[in-house]
Structure 1
Amino acid sequence: MNQPSTATPHAMRGLTLLEATMVMAIGLILGAITLPHMLKLTEKQRAISSANLLVSHIALARNHAVTQRRVATLCPSSDGTSCRADNNWSLGWLVMDSAPNPAATARSARILMTAQLPANTRVHIYSNKGRTRLRYLPDGRSTGANTSFRICTSGAMSSKIVVSNGGRVRSEATPVGTSCH
């Protein structure tokens, strides 16, 4: 009865330093190729998520205006308690019940919902110049002219949200490379 020895050279074989180095080099090359694409994909998903959040809060404001028969206002906010005076919605916004005073501030109105976007995100949201608020009347119409929100990543517009005077919200895809400003 001859039994093979467990100490044969074939049983003790493992990876050589050269083989391990080659596996690591291939892994690093694949990582270097895929990392920029993964970062771009993550940025795109954050832009889509931010746009969807804004659309849902616009719908909430309109729904509140119609069901409560009161004016509802959306405005950019960096702290969730007061409105900003510019058209940069990148840090967040708030939805407030501002009836009956159209000039109501967040301090004098009941805040219905807030959204704060992460400060380290590369997603930027801008409304039309001079449009620092979006107001819905009790009949569901938006005041003023059509409003549009530009969703931007890396300086280029990724999508656009348009609110008509009738209150309808729609999203538009934008051509690749469209400037955000």
Structure 2
Amino acid sequence: MERYDYGFRYGNGGFTLLELLVGLAAGVLVLTLAVPAMLDFYRHNLRASSVNRLVSSLHLARSEAVNRTQKITLCPSSDGVQCDSSLEWQDGWMIFANTDSETGTRTDGEPIIRVQSPVGDGIRLVNGSNRRYLVYQPSGTATGFSSKFLACDPDGDADPVGIWLSNTGRIAKVESFSAEDAAACTPQDG
């Protein structure tokens, strides 16, 4: 009887223990370097996304003020019905047509234009200019003084992503941050 060789070689079918350990160590090293970088990338994108949602709302509020020829107010709102008295906007905000002279308060009958849901994932969205609400005039200008918004890292470790709203109603990206900005982004205890 003749034997056939099917190409199987005993002793060459796998990895040695040393090869497995070296491969495992290389994989652990790559993961150790890649995971923190991916988390930083993810958190930066969350902050940028929060700011982009706010910018979209600011553009809408300005456009509605011009189109409706009336004051439009934008304020933080956790319930989507009334303005909050907080300087932090991460719990959501709303835009409403302001038909009376109470600019920071929505009264019954004033139409709500948009309610924005919370930004989530621990991101803090802070008004660094101590403004609890913004009002756009029918001319498209923002009343009061210029305002800065910062999207802060949950741990306060990374630079915030920020925008600047001028009195003319124009929006610009904040390129540098002050000590006050860092203090505004410091996580609050309690």
Q: Same fold (TM over 0.5)?
A: yes
**One-letter amino acid of the counterpart of residue 182, structure 2:** S
Q: Which residue of 2 aligns with 1:116?
A: 117
Is 103-112 or 40-49 further displaced after alignment? 103-112
Higher strand share: 1
- Report SS of the residue matched to 1:179: helix
**C-alpha contact (below 8 Å) 1:142/1:167 kept by paired residues:** yes
What is the CA distance between 1:86 and its match in structure 2? 1.5
What is the CA distance between 1:179 and its match in structure 2? 1.1
Q: 1:161 to 1:118 in 2, by over 3 A?
A: closer
What is the CA distance between 1:159 and its match in structure 2? 2.9
Whole-Å Cα distance in 2 between the matches of residues 164 and 72 of structure 1? 16
What is the CA distance between 1:79 and its match in structure 2? 2.6
**C-alpha contact (below 8 Å) 2:70/2:138 kept by paired residues:** yes
Residues 98-117 of structure 1: pairs in structure 2 closer than 5 A: 98-103=98-103, 104-105=105-106, 107-117=108-118
* Unmatched tracts of structure 2, length 5 or more: 185-190
**One-letter amino acid of the counterpart of residue 96, structure 2:** M
The answer to whether the aligner puts 1:8 opposite 2:5 as a matched pair is no
Is 92-101 or 64-73 further displaced after alignment? 92-101
Count of residue pairs brought into register by the alignment: 179
The alignment's TM-score, normalised by the length of structure 1, stands at 0.85
The answer to whether the aligner puts 1:32 opposite 2:35 as a matched pair is no
Q: Which residue of 2 aligns with 1:88?
A: 88
Q: 1:160 to 1:180 in 2, by over 3 A?
A: farther
* Unmatched tracts of structure 1, length 5 or more: none
Q: 1:123 to 1:98 in 2, by over 3 A?
A: same
Task: State the Cα RMSD in Å.
Answer: 2.5
